[in-house]
Amino acid sequence: MNNWSTCPAVERDPLKVSGAWLFRGTRVPVTALFENLEDGAQLAEFVEWFPGVSLQQARAVLEHAALSLEAA
């Protein structure tokens, strides 16, 4: 399981979006990134569609996920 608490690009607040992991400073769930990529979206499209999310945040989330897979 991925420990998102160590990723600085995300945050979790039980009062926001039912406590889901969100891109820091937004209400955009981290899962939205993976769902959009699975559906064929490009990273640049994702940050365009979700203006509160920066390209750096999206890349940090992908890097964090990749590192967690390497450690597994």
Q: In this predicted model, what pLDDT tens digit does every residue of 23-43 receive, in sequence order?
A: 999 999 999 999 999 999 999
Phi, psi angle pair for 32, to nearest 5°? -60, -35
Q: How far apart are CA 37 and CA 35, in angstroms?
A: 6
Question: 56 pLDDT band (50/70/90 cuts)?
Answer: very high
Which residue, chain included where needed, has tokens 């039980």? 14
- DSSP letters spanning 16-67: SGGG-EEETTSS-BHHHHHHHHHTT--HHHHHHHSTTS-HHHHHHHHHHHHH
Sign of CA dihedral 31, 37, 40, 46: positive
- High-pLDDT (> 90) share of the chain, %: 88
Checking if the pLDDT of 61 tops 90, the result is yes
Which domains, ranges and CATH numbers included, belong to the chain?
A: 4-71 (1.10.10.10)
